[in-house]
Amino acid sequence: MFQNTPVSFSGVQPSGNLTIGNYLGAIKNFASFSEQYKCFYCVVDEHAITVRQVPADLRRRTYETLALYMACGLDPEKNTLYVQSHVKEHAELAWLLNCFTGFGELSRMTQFKDKSQKHADNINAGLFTYPVLMAADILLYQTDVVPVGIDQKQHVELCRDIANRFNAIYPDTFTIPEPIMAKSGAKIMSLADPTKKMSKSDENTNAVVYILDDRDTIIRKFKRAVTDSDTCIRYAEGKDGINNLMTIYSVFTGKTIEDIEREFEGRGYGDFKMAVGEVCADALAPVQEKFKCFMSDKAQLEAQMKKGAEEAAYVARRTLSKVQKKLGFVQIR
């Protein structure tokens, strides 16, 4: 579709304050695709309402997520940055793909099982068909690669299955996308329970470092991070807390695990936790600075949203119309 330029697509839900998991596992990596790919990065507000949201919070976080994309280095001249609900083709293609997705397939999604346990009072159909909307997001842009954290791999695999099934009936409709995960940082764990993923919806705010936390808060949270009764800084089975901190330190500094083991040889957990907090705060400071600046000009953010939505809709319309024709829908102009 873009004269042989491959396409990268990904999305982030404005459903909570974004964490260093979102940053290291996803957003930080998005920019690296800008030179060789046509990039679409979406704020997926329609996904966010599968769980109840306070409207004013959802609205504010939608602006914030777009501002964070830019603060993390996504240049809107090189990347199409937009909001999902501004491009109606997402919801429309999702309906069509629903008719090519099995109930059994959706029942096997681990995130559905987790979320329906967590929100037992609101297991709505949207929570169940969430991965179909995600498949629509990806397939609308004839996407080649989808940079995500490990928790989204299963959803991208389902998207591939749906696309292959559709193509088998209606050949040459969709590009089959590939999930791309960072070698390190694709699953950042909670600081309070390092066997669990760090999540923006965690009620324990000490378990989570937010991208917008101030320096003192970041350092305090790392100081309190749960580790083990060993004293030695090395990466090993059963040392989930230390392994997580070493991963975070490694991704922020670019140092290997061996480098880190050497650097902290003979030093205690306290020193190491302090160092992790400092590198994290140092790395986030410029992002926070830029974020403030982007957030201070709402009109400019809205202009960006509009431009992104127009660019995205142009491509989305073409794919949707192709799908409708293949299905036998009557086209009128």
Among 81, 97, 139, 186, binds ligand TYM (CB under 6 A): 186
How far from the centroid of its chain's Cα atoms is residue 327's Cα? 31
For residue 137, state whether it binds ligand TYM (rule: CB under 6 A): yes
For residue 25, state whether it binds ligand TYM (rule: CB under 6 A): yes
Contacts of 60 (CB under 8 A, 6+ apart): none
Token pair in block for residue 6: 């491959």
For residue 151, state whether it binds ligand TYM (rule: CB under 6 A): yes
Catalytic residue check, 115: yes
Catalytic residue check, 322: no
For residue 11, state whether it binds ligand TYM (rule: CB under 6 A): yes
CA-based nearest residue to 180, from 152, 156, 147, 151: 147
Token pair in block for residue 165: 């099934």
198-237 residues in contact with ligand TYM (CB under 6 A) are 198
Nearer to ligand TYM, 118 or 262 (CB): 118
Token pair in block for residue 251: 């991704």
Q: Which stretch binds ligand TYM (CB under 6 A): 8-16, 68-76, 230-238, 319-327?
A: 8-16
247-306 residues in contact with ligand TYM (CB under 6 A) are none
Catalytic residue check, 88: no
For residue 13, state whether it binds ligand TYM (rule: CB under 6 A): yes
Q: Is 79 helix (H, G, I), strand (E, B) or coil?
A: strand
* Catalytic residue of the set 38, 200, 239, 273: 200
Report, in Å, the least distance between residue 132 CB and ligand TYM. 11
Distance CA 191, CA 207 (A): 4
CA-based nearest residue to 286, from 215, 185, 209, 188: 215
Q: Known catalytic residues?
A: 115, 197, 200
